[in-house]
Amino acid sequence: MAEGRGELPPRSPPHLSLPPASKRPCLRPAPRGPGPGPGPGYSNSRLRSPESLLDCAAKAVAEKWAFERVEERFERIPEPVQRRIVYWSFPRNEREICMYSSFQCRVAGEEGPAVGSNASVGSGAVPGGVTTTTGNTGAGGTGDGLPFRRGIRLLETGCVENVLQVGFHLSGTVTEPATASEPEVTHRVAISFDRCKITSVTCGCGNRDIFYCAHVVALSLYRIRKPEQVKLRLPISETLFQMNRDQLQKLVQYLITAHHTEVLPTAQKLADEILSSNSQINQVHGAPDPTAGASIDDDNCWHLDEEQVREQVKQFLSQGGYYGSGKQLNSMFAKVREMLRMRDSNGARMLTLITEQFMADPRLSLWRQQGTGMTDKCRQLWDELGALWVCIVLNPHCKSEEKGGWLKQLKKWSDMDICPLEDGNYGSELPNITNALPQSNLAQDSLGRPRRTVFTRAVEACDLHWQDSHLQRIISSDFYMSPAYQREGESLLFNPQGLPLWLDHVPTACARVDALRSHGYPREALRLAVAIINTLRLQQHRQLDIYKHQKKELLQRGMTTTTNLEGWVGHPLDPIGCLFATLTETCRIEDDNAMDTGDSGEPKPPVYQHVSVWGCPDGSESYLALALEVALMGMGQQRLMPEGLYAQDKVCRNEEQIIARLQELELDELLVQTLRKQAILLLEGGPFSGMGEVIHRESVPMHTFSKYLFTALLPHDADLAYKVGLRAMRLPVLESSAPSGDVGHHGISIVPSRYPRWFTLGHLESQQCEVASTMLTAAKGDMLRLRTVLEAIQKNIHSPSLIFKLAQDAFKIATPADSPPDITLLNVALELGLQVMRMTLSTLNWRRREMVRWLVTCATEVGLRALVSILQGWYTLFTPTEATSIVAATVMSHNTVLRLSLDYPQREELASCARTLALQCAMKDPQNCALSALTLCEKDHVAFETAYQIVIDAASTGMTYSQLFTIARYMEHRGYPLRAFKLASLAMAHLNLAYNQDTHPAINDVLWACALSHSLGKNELATIIPLVVKSVHCATVLSDILRRCTMTAPGLAGIPGRRNSGKLMSTDKAPLRQLLDATISAYINTTHSRLTHISPRHYGEFIEFLSKARETFLLAQDGHIQFAQFIDNLKQIYKGKKKLMMLVRERFG
């Protein structure tokens, strides 16, 4: 591959200027080396004498020609000439050393021409400054840990010594200073170089990494910064040529003596071969010289350890679940882009190595077999990989054989079954990269779509070329315009102002821009970017004209099927992001501190200033304004939501990335003017704009975009800001109906789906909520705007949870801690809360209780009338249970009265409404609301009696025994024992306790009811016992009741006219006789039931049960006889259970 500093490829485009790769002089000027001629260039050239012709020629030869070619061309090369060629053959740019010793390297001004500079990119001007690194990546983690920074530190602390350059070989020693844990260590370093590139490195530290170690960096920078201190010798073969036989013999013998343990075996072997006339060594003319530079056939490229690249990528991929691994891989991609920008052939080489490891990732086959998708972070890495290959193959100066090799390799990868698909989920639904127009008719069956992988776009890009004469003129001149006499009428090449257009598939055109920028042609990239923006402008105005003719018909239909299947935001090639980056880089003001490596923490936000568009007729255009304009155009494009989770998520992510970059711009008058103009065009754009009056039902929503527009426009044009925000509030995909659409000009007609699969719908709805919240906050105090925003919310937001969030946000903003509440916003919060109550009244929502409590709090803040209103209209907002247990109870609390500072009539009004609500709820749902109603009506006799009567009426039909027991206990607690007895009796009629339910939760209620009856008197007890006998069949419970009733009554509950005689009640008389008989009968029945399925392990428990039964039998006059007969019957009936009967005889005889 042509390195950019060499000759142009034979088939390079005729009009594209090819400036040499940017070179920068060192921080320190390089003085004269050995021999004549000055050192390397110096930024302030007026203070230096001009270079000699020898140095000019030597520099050119050293950079372009292999030294072998020089030797072949000339029979004899004078020694001073050889010295200057050797001198200038070492790399002269610290930036190149930095590139191979750190993950990221950025130089002030490297992204394009310096702001305000008149130098042409193609002029070969050398920008000033020294390369630096960013410290957020790399092995060291911080800038000081990077090899480049460590190398500079070693150099500046005098750790580099014994530096010697012999021909094209540099050697020296670098000493690592001692630390608290490590002693001082000296490393031998050797570097081979050719044509201003380091071709191999060796260091005694044994470093194995992608990048050069700090010792190699230190030695390289020593040679660049202090060339006058480096001993320079010609290649060793030239020195040997000057020696006679005696000198040569002495040299060899001294060399062997100095290193006899290392070289003696090798020396003897070579001597034997030389003395043998038939040896291979004697068949070759001359001898190898490692210091004589590379041969003509050697690749002229920087040293790159391919094995280490493979190993590190493999290691990073194996740690796929960790954040650091993705960060490292992205840094490697950034390194590829940096190499491309330097026109270094290692860029494509390194990307090939990375891709091979990506394709060898064992998870690919696993994901395919399991039918599962890869993680989002992994998908993003594959996307970047595909985009980089598009950049590689679109290199405007690559050779055809190189492109052919890449195409073959890309097709091989793409044809593999495990190769990831472009959209991450399906085949491909996007147009071919070489389509000429962004809206071509692609209404084809999705089943017939070709399989598109992450490499498909790169394969398609191989068909693109740069030979188009119009394209060449665009990128080669700032002043390319049509003649004035040709500007009337339609033209595909120029707009009405005579500026050039580039009518290409927009993502494809932007891929060309990215390729130019990535390969070190920033000026050409800018020219093409401006032509693309002029094309988009013209298209936007023509679409507006089309809409004006169809506006009436479309507005009647209310929706359109005109859309773009391929959106520019979220596109695999990121066209909008590419154009924005290309344009803003020109306007970026670089930090004066050129050596800033990011050690100080977070990177500083970029600072921009306006730069006039080169070649603009009136000078009114600014690259910064164009960047803002194209970002607004791209995000405002009306396009169809893509299929699949990943593609949809990518749309959201890409939009947020673009907006984050827009927020870095400081809006001045020119940018605000651009913003306002584009916002108006988007609002008037009809079906071609996502902000238009009519859009496709499944169009990508504009919520995130409109939030940025609203915030940016609000200080400058509030009316326009609210128009944008309100227009973007819609989310038509959630509307129930989709009308039959129309077919627009230059559009695609597609049949709308009733239920599209929008995987990111939750995120989109939350963004819709964010827009609404932003507008509510801004409209605080403006009743008219608040009412408009409220209507938009009620019309367009369909999620109760989100409306509730909006209500909470509005309430929080309306009630600041340090100032009086804003009643207008409070009313909006209350109205939104009421809407939530109505929406969730008949549906399940786990936050419902929280919502109800919040609404009461909000209504309390609004005032008495709001509370009265929700109490009177409770049935449309709350369930009866919520209304009584939460709403009315909170309203009647002492805290509410204090908060509102109510006087007596106001308290009575509120209490009356609460009691009315309680009675209504009790009528509607007595099971759940009766007790709350009684509680709320305690202080009003009439209301309390009414509530009690509601309970009595509902007791026989709609209420359970547990509810009735609860209310009965409440009545006893309130001092109504007879009412409690009545309710307990009603509850007993609903109860049924089986013989084996001795742990039933109602047992305590039954015991309480019997105790209450016993305390009231014999008549009440006589009333309750038949109910107990009918409802309770559990012997142990009945015996417990019987035992309690035989004791002294607990008292008559304070009922006037009744007194307790203190005598024990007899079990032989009513009412206990009936209870005793029922208890004995229950014991007999339970005994037979238990014996039917008894197991030996329960024998002991059964004997204890019979003991309790005997105690009950003995309460009767003839109880001992009955029990004896009972035991005899058991022995006769169950005589087969011999062990059990033996235990019965042992205990009971």
Alpha-carbon distances of 318 from 356, 361, 379, 997, rounded to whole Å = 14, 8, 15, 61
76 phi and psi angles, rounded to 5 deg: -135, 130
User: Lowest-pLDDT range, 19-28, 185-194, 666-675?
Assistant: 19-28
**Residues paired with 993 in a beta bridge:** 1032
How do residues 472-508 score in pLDDT, each as one tens digit?
999 998 888 887 766 666 678 888 888 899 998 999 9
The tokens for 505 are: 């598939």
Check whether 1060 has a pLDDT greater than 80. Answer: no
User: Quick one: pLDDT band at residue 734, thresholds 50, 70, 90?
Assistant: confident
Q: Quick one: how far is CA 1034 from the chain centroid? A: 63
Nearest to 100 by CA among 148, 167, 52: 148
User: Lowest-pLDDT range, 133-137, 276-280, 600-604, 610-614?
Assistant: 133-137
Predicted TM-score (pTM) of the model is 0.76
Task: Give the integer Cα–Cα distance in Å for 701 and 690.
Answer: 7
pLDDT of residue 951: 93
User: Quick one: pLDDT band at residue 550, thresholds 50, 70, 90?
Assistant: confident
The tokens for 273 are: 């071969």
Highest mean pLDDT among 543-547, 813-817, 1035-1039: 813-817
DSSP states of 459-470 as a string? HHHTT--S--HH
What would the mean pLDDT of 669-694 be, rounded to a whole number?
91
User: Quick one: pLDDT band at residue 98, thresholds 50, 70, 90?
Assistant: confident
DSSP states of 642-696 as a string? PSSHHHHHHHHHHHHHHHHHHTTS---HHHHHHHHHHHHHHHT-GGGBTTSSS--
Q: 646 and 373 in contact (C-beta within 8 Å)?
A: yes
Alpha-carbon distances of 265 from 173, 475, 1076, rounded to whole Å = 26, 63, 119
User: Quick one: pLDDT band at residue 141, thresholds 50, 70, 90?
Assistant: very low
Nearest to 198 by CA among 303, 345, 64: 303
**Residues paired with 161 in a beta bridge:** 173
pLDDT of residue 559: 66
The tokens for 1118 are: 């003839």
Which runs of consecutive H residues, i.e. helices, occur in 974-1034?
Answer: 977-989, 1003-1016, 1018-1031
Check whether 1038 has a pLDDT greater than 60. Answer: yes
Residue spans of beta strands (DSSP E) within 515-557? none
Q: 868 and 908 in contact (C-beta within 8 Å)?
A: no
User: Lowest-pLDDT range, 396-405, 668-677, 788-797?
Assistant: 396-405
Check whether 458 has a pLDDT greater than 90. Answer: yes
How do residues 739-767 score in pLDDT, each as one tens digit?
433 333 333 333 344 456 888 999 999 99
Q: 707 and 770 in contact (C-beta within 8 Å)?
A: yes
pLDDT of residue 924: 93
Task: Give the integer Cα–Cα distance in Å for 600 and 613.
Answer: 35
Task: Give the integer Cα–Cα distance in Å for 911 and 894.
Answer: 12
What would the mean pLDDT of 681-701 be, rounded to a whole number?
89
Q: Quick one: how far is CA 148 from the chain centroid? A: 33
1134 CB-contact burial (10 Å; exposed 0-12 / middle 13-18 / buried 19+):
middle
206 CB-contact burial (10 Å; exposed 0-12 / middle 13-18 / buried 19+):
exposed
The tokens for 919 are: 């009675």
Check whether 187 has a pLDDT greater than 70. Answer: yes
DSSP states of 459-510 as a string? HHHTT--S--HHHHHHHH-TT----GGG-SS--SSB-TTS-B---S-HHHHH
**Buried/exposed code over 382-400 (b: 16+ C-beta within 10 A; e: otherwise):** bbbbbbbbbbbbbbbbbee
732 phi and psi angles, rounded to 5 deg: -60, -20
Residue at 843: amino acid letter: T
Q: What is the largest CA-CA distance in the chain?
A: 148
Higher pLDDT, 131 or 1147: 1147
Residue at 324: amino acid letter: G
User: Quick one: pLDDT band at residue 321, thresholds 50, 70, 90?
Assistant: low
Check whether 606 has a pLDDT greater than 80. Answer: yes
The tokens for 503 are: 């009518």
Task: Give the integer Cα–Cα distance in Å for 316 and 741.
Answer: 50
Three-state SS at 132? strand
Q: 130 and 138 in contact (C-beta within 8 Å)?
A: no
* Helices 575-587, 522-557: crossing angle, 10 deg rounding: 130
Nearest to 41 by CA among 56, 62, 54: 56
Mean pLDDT of all residues belonging to the chain: 81
pLDDT of residue 487: 65
The tokens for 911 are: 């209490």
How do residues 783-797 score in pLDDT, each as one tens digit?
999 999 999 999 999
Helix (H) or strand (E) holding 69: helix 67-73
pLDDT of residue 984: 92
Name residues whose C-beta falls within 8 Å of residue 712's C-beta, 6 or more positions apart in sequence.
662, 667, 672, 675
Three-state SS at 384? helix
**Where on the phi/psi map is residue 1124: left (φ > 0), alpha (ψ -120 to 50), or beta?**
alpha
Nearest to 312 by CA among 383, 211, 213: 211
Check whether 110 has a pLDDT greater than 70. Answer: no
Strand pairing class (169-176; 160-166):
antiparallel
The tokens for 400 are: 């055809």
Angle at Cα 312 formed by Cα 307 and Cα 314, nearest 5°? Answer: 95
Asked whether the bond before 34 is cis by omega within 30 degrees of 0, the reply is: no
Higher pLDDT, 1084 or 370: 1084
Highest mean pLDDT among 487-501, 543-557, 661-675, 1072-1086: 661-675
Task: Give the integer Cα–Cα distance in Å for 50 and 224.
Answer: 20
Nearest to 592 by CA among 215, 128, 981, 194: 128
pLDDT of residue 33: 37
User: Quick one: pLDDT band at residue 67, thresholds 50, 70, 90?
Assistant: confident
Check whether 466 has a pLDDT greater than 90. Answer: yes
610 CB-contact burial (10 Å; exposed 0-12 / middle 13-18 / buried 19+):
middle
Name residues whose C-beta falls within 8 Å of residue 898's C-beta, 6 or more positions apart in sequence.
none
User: Quick one: pLDDT band at residue 839, thresholds 50, 70, 90?
Assistant: very high
Cα atoms in the Cβ-side hemisphere of radius 13 Å centred on 844: 0
Report the 10 Å Cβ neighbour count for 832.
Answer: 27
Nearest to 308 by CA among 397, 201, 234: 201
Task: Give the integer Cα–Cα distance in Å for 287 and 893.
Answer: 105
DSSP states of 253-302 as a string? HHHHHHTHHHHHHHHHHHHHHHH-TTSGGGGSSS---TTS---TTS----
- What percent of the chain shows pLDDT beyond 70? 83
Name residues whose C-beta falls within 8 Å of residue 231's C-beta, 6 or more positions apart in sequence.
163, 164, 165
The tokens for 538 are: 């013209």
**Residues paired with 194 in a beta bridge:** 197
Radius of gyration of the chain measured on its C-alpha atoms:
46
How do residues 161-181 score in pLDDT, each as one tens digit?
888 888 888 889 888 888 888
Q: Which residue has the tokens 């370093």?
A: 189
pLDDT of residue 916: 96
**Where on the phi/psi map is residue 1018: left (φ > 0), alpha (ψ -120 to 50), or beta?**
alpha
User: Quick one: pLDDT band at residue 251, thresholds 50, 70, 90?
Assistant: confident
Alpha-carbon distances of 534 from 468, 503, 621, 757, rounded to whole Å = 19, 10, 11, 36
User: Quick one: pLDDT band at residue 279, thresholds 50, 70, 90?
Assistant: confident
User: Lowest-pLDDT range, 14-23, 246-255, 1057-1066?
Assistant: 14-23
How do residues 288-298 score in pLDDT, each as one tens digit?
777 777 777 77
Three-state SS at 435? coil
pLDDT of residue 736: 60
User: Quick one: pLDDT band at residue 943, thresholds 50, 70, 90?
Assistant: very high
Check whether 116 has a pLDDT greater than 60. Answer: no
pLDDT of residue 489: 62
Check whether 6 has a pLDDT greater than 60. Answer: no
Task: Give the integer Cα–Cα distance in Å for 970 and 987.
Answer: 14
Task: Give the integer Cα–Cα distance in Å for 235 and 238.
Answer: 6
Task: Give the integer Cα–Cα distance in Å for 760 and 648.
Answer: 7
pLDDT of residue 592: 53
User: Quick one: pLDDT band at residue 694, thresholds 50, 70, 90?
Assistant: confident
Task: Give the integer Cα–Cα distance in Å for 101 and 98.
Answer: 5
How do residues 849-877 score in pLDDT, each as one tens digit?
999 999 999 999 999 999 999 999 999 99
How do residues 910-925 score in pLDDT, each as one tens digit?
999 999 999 999 999 9
Task: Give the integer Cα–Cα distance in Å for 147 and 100.
Answer: 9
Task: Give the integer Cα–Cα distance in Å for 266 and 256.
Answer: 10
Residue at 793: amino acid letter: I
Task: Give the integer Cα–Cα distance in Å for 709 and 882.
Answer: 42
